[in-house]
């Protein structure tokens, strides 16, 4: 019998090479972003993981923390078509999708042509997305999920890769429209941008108040991002790890047998299957970054907070008691055992 360690080496070597290539591009992108965006290493890593997972990200933080700068920098590091949409209350769906415009033909006569809106791009920065009305916010639903837009009777595919990075401010609620649940569910992660550390303040001031401002060079292309996404999806998931992710998602649902008492008391709606998809996709990215070829339960736990925090809809009691979704996700992580035999 052949030694199991020597058989199938060619395939394993190819997988290792792909994983190393993935890590190399990932680290290059991360390095370029950190030339401009100081600190928040975990945040940057998760945002890049979202890019590699074919998802969308929602950045939430108070003004002045660099949410828009982070998204702009990421777009600059990729040679992609970039669009920035500043969401305002009077923004209409046609303003972002595009509309039919009457054109005069050269030979005479008129025709209707589709004028693309800023949504037709690879990288969309939806700045202050909660300032637009739900009507305009809903115009993003089809684009974010199906990667296409429908104008009139025509459906047009959006260019690939397509990623939406939206920002919103958690404190200014006047004149804002909270994102509908269907819209929130389409974001793979919700990332909270916090204040930088003291040392990071020094670095920020050094870089931004001098004569020369740091610049970002494009280090990857759209085609390479698409190839890396295929690598990510090639990472296998063992049944027990998949079961753990499923149990985690089910534990956020108050009617589930896995739900802890905190969830039963304070949650109205739990995560959808999109949450489980997000757990596995981001877990695959983390496995590759960790030099492994399969997802582990620890990978699932590491990404549970950004993936599940915006998919937990608090009940009236939860709002009244001041429960935070992050605490509920942590309670779920503590309640659900990792061992498949312990359920």
Compute and round to an integer the Cα radius of gyration of the chain.
22
Residue 230 CB, nearest approach to another protein (Å): 11
Contact in structure between 97 and 148 (CB atoms under 8 Å): no
Q: Closest CB to another protein among 6 and 209?
A: 6
The distance of closest approach from Cβ of residue 296 to another protein in the complex, given in angstroms and rounded to an integer, is 4
User: Given the complex with another protein, which of 30 and 284 has the nearer CB atom?
Assistant: 284
Interaction site with another protein (CB under 8 A): 1-2, 4-8, 10-12, 14-16, 18-19, 234-236, 238-241, 287, 290, 292-299, 316-317, 320-321, 338-342
Q: Is 45 or 185 the residue whose CB approaches another protein more closely?
A: 45
- Roughly how many angstroms between the first and final C-alpha of the chain, as a whole number? 38
Residue 332: which of 239, 273, 247 has the closest Cα? 247
Tell me whether residue 114 or residue 293 sits nearer to another protein (CB atom): 293
- In the bound state with another protein, the residue whose beta carbon lies nearer, of 45 and 60, is 45
Distance CA 179, CA 24 (A): 36
Residue 15 Cβ, how far from another protein at the closest point, in Å? 4
Residue 49: name the closest of 208, 242, 244, 235 by CA: 235
- Please list the alpha-helical segments (H only) found in the chain: 9-36, 41-52, 67-77, 93-97, 134-146, 181-185, 198-208, 222-234, 239-251, 261-266, 273-289, 297-308, 316-320, 325-335
Contacts of 121 (CB under 8 A, 6+ apart): 80, 81, 82, 83, 159, 162
Instruction: Compute the least distance from the CB of residue 52 to another protein, in Å.
Output: 15
Q: In the complex with another protein, which residue's Cβ is closer, 179 or 235? A: 235
Q: Are 168 and 128 in contact (CB under 8 A)?
A: yes
Shortest Cβ 265–another protein spacing (Å): 11
- Taking the complex as a whole, how short is the minimal distance between the CB of residue 18 and another protein, in angstroms? 8
């Amino acid at each position: 019998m052949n030694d199991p360690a020597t058989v199938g080496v060619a395939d394993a070597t190819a997988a290792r090479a792909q994983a190393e290539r993935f890590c190399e591009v990932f680290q290059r992108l991360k390095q370029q972003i950190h030339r401009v965006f100081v600190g928040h290493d975990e945040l940057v890593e998760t945002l890049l993981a979202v890019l590699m997972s074919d998802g969308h990200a929602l950045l939430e933080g108070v003004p002045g923390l660099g949410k828009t700068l982070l998204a702009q920098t990421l777009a600059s590091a990729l040679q992609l078509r970039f669009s920035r949409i500043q969401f305002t209350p009077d923004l209409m769906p046609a303003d972002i999708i595009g509309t039919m415009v009457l054109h005069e033909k050269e030979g005479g006569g008129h025709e209707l042509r589709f004028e693309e809106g800023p949504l037709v791009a690879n990288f969309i920065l939806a700045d202050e997305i909660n300032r637009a009305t739900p009507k305009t916010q809903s115009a993003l639903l089809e684009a974010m999920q199906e990667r296409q837009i429908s104008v009139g009777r025509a459906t047009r595919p959006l260019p690939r890769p397509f990623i939406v990075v939206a920002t919103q401010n958690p404190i200014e609620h006047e004149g804002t429209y909270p994102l509908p649940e269907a819209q929130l569910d389409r974001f793979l992660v919700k990332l909270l941008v916090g204040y930088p550390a003291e040392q990071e303040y020094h670095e920020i001031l050094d870089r931004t108040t001098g004569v020369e401002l740091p610049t970002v060079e494009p280090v990857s292309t759209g085609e390479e991002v698409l190839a890396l996404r295929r690598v990510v999806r090639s990472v296998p998931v063992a049944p027990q790890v998949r079961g753990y992710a499923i149990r985690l998602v089910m534990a956020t649902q108050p009617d589930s047998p896995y739900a802890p008492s905190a969830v039963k008391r304070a949650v109205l709606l739990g995560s959808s299957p999109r949450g489980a998809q997000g757990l596995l996709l981001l877990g695959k990215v983390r496995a590759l970054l960790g030099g492994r070829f399969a997802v582990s339960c620890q990978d699932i736990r590491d990404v549970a907070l950004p993936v599940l925090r915006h998919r937990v809809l608090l009940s009236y009691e939860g709002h009244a008691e001041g429960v935070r979704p992050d605490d509920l996700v942590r309670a779920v992580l503590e309640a659900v055992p990792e061992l498949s035999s312990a359920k």
